[in-house]
């Protein structure tokens, strides 16, 4: 699915891998800005679209990740 306002992953998605295996969790934007900061997904980290676009441009592939 192409990125955009109707995509449930928003404008960008960073895939999270552990030991080379896709965890099926993502850091991604959300078209539903009211859901940000709430428990509304299956482990994904949702962000405002403009914020995940900025993060996507700054973070190189295979960057270590710590989610607290």
CA 25 to chain centre: 8
In a domain, 67, yes or no: no
Residue 41 lies inside a defined structural domain of this protein: yes
- Give me the pLDDT at residue 5, please: 67
Residue 54 phi, psi dihedral angles, 5° rounding: -65, -45
Using the 8-state DSSP alphabet, how is residue 8 labeled? T
pLDDT in tens, 4-40: 667 888 888 999 999 999 999 999 988 888 888 888 7
Q: Which domain holds residue 51?
A: 13-58
Count of domains for the chain: 1
Q: Is residue 19 part of a domain?
A: yes
Q: What is the predicted pLDDT for the residue at 63? A: 93
pLDDT recorded at residue 52 = 93
- Is residue 37 one of the residues assigned to a domain? yes
**Residue 26 located in a structural domain:** yes
Considering the domain boundaries, does residue 64 fall inside one? no
Contact (CB, 8 A) for 23 and 45 = no
């Amino acid at each position: 699915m192409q990125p955009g306002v109707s995509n449930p992953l928003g404008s960008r998605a960073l895939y999270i891998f552990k030991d080379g295996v896709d965890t099926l969790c993502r850091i991604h934007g959300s078209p539903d800005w009211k859901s940000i900061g709430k428990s509304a997904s299956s482990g994904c980290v949702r962000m405002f679209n403009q914020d995940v676009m900025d993060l996507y441009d700054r973070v190189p592939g295979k960057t270590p990740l710590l989610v607290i």
